[in-house]
Structure 1
Amino acid sequence: MILLHRKWLLILLILLSFTTLIKAQTTKADETGKIYFLRSSGWGGTFSNFKFYIDDKFVCKAKYKRYSIHEVPSGRHNLKLQYGNKDLKTFKNGMPYIEVQVESAKSLYYELVYETGLFTTLIYFKEIDENTAKEKMKQMKENTSCL
């Protein structure tokens, strides 16, 4: 009788551990979001040494008419743009980075924008909505190598 109870207890513990493991994997997948970087305007060729960073980590070169997709944990992240090895301090808010909030299973879309004036060029990130991004991405290619 005691042996029978031990077998059922063992089976129950094994089942519980499997369900816990499956739930943990599902929950982990739901705790990430995506950041899309688009570069649909500006110059190609020599003037394309722009690099995207997430939380001070290089993630991709900003190639002309390309977009890249980056999966990140949900929460706050800093996005930064560099030209060569120099941070660009030309964001609309005057900061060398922008702070974004990534929500689970959601996507954020940021476009690299060039504004040229008589004596200056302003280069910064601009958040765009999903429909606008998807429309622009039809004319672009995904940058999967990011080098």
Structure 2
Amino acid sequence: MKTISVLLIALISLCSYKTFAQQKTGTICFIRANGYVGSMVNDKVYIDDSLVCKLKNKQYSIHTVPAGAHTVAVNPGGLSTQKRSTPLTITVEAGKTTYIDIAWADKVSCQELTANSATLKMQKLKQNNKCLSDK
């Protein structure tokens, strides 16, 4: 009887741990602070091929995701025929934020930023809390 009790407790503990482990999340913060290039149109940002936000110039957005590997990409808005940027694979750690800069050079791309660099950029930006609304 004692062995069955120990096995039952072990099974409950294992199930509880597995449930807790699945609930670990982190955040991805997209930052769009570029200057004049494309400043009048929304860039569409994607996490794991799902559209999560339409960001205007001088905005950032924060998204909660499960901890682990994810791909992020951006597609410039407007009437442009440009395609989505090359996906960037990132690892999101539980309880931490991964910062992604939407950068324009010859074309739009995603680049990972350090927390210090992101914090400096975000001071001049406005958070977009209504990512997929047209308002």
TM-score tier after normalising by the smaller chain length: 0.7 to 0.9
Give the C-alpha shift of residue 75 in structure 1: 1.0
1:32 aligns with 2:25: yes
Query: Is residue 2:83 matched to residue 1:87?
Result: yes
What do the CA deviations read for 1:42-100 (whole angstroms, capped 9, x no partner)?
3321xx231000011110012110000000001111111112485334xxxxxx21111
Higher helix share: 1
Counterpart AA for 1:87: K
Which consecutive unaligned segments of at least 5 residues does structure 1 have?
1-16, 90-95, 116-120
State yes or no: 1:136 paired with 2:132.
no
Q: Does residue 98 of the first structure (1) align with residue 88 of the second (2)? A: yes
TM-score, with length taken from structure 1: 0.67
Q: 2:49 aligns with which of 27, 50, 56?
A: 56
Task: Say how many residue pairs are matched.
Answer: 114
Choose the corresponding residue for 1:78, options 46, 71, 80. Answer: 71
CA RMSD of aligned residues (A): 2.2
**What is the alpha-carbon distance in structure 2 between the residues aligned to residue 60 and residue 27 of structure 1?**
27
Tell me the residue number matched to 1:92: none
The structure number with the bigger radius of gyration is 1
Instruction: Please say if 1:112 is aligned against 2:112.
Output: no
- TM-score of the pair, normalised by structure 2: 0.73
How much has 1:26 moved relative to structure 2? 6.4
CA contact (8 A) 1:80 1:87 kept: no
Tell me, in whole angstroms, the C-alpha distance in 2 between the residues paired with 1:26 and 1:66: 33
Aligned residue identity for 2:115? E
1:123 aligns to what? 108
* Residue aligned with 2:56, SS: coil
Gap runs ≥5 in structure 2: 1-11
C-alpha separation between the residues in 2 aligned to 1:125 and 1:42?
Answer: 16
- Over the matched positions of the two proteins, sequence identity in percent amounts to 34
Q: CA deviation at 1:32?
A: 0.2
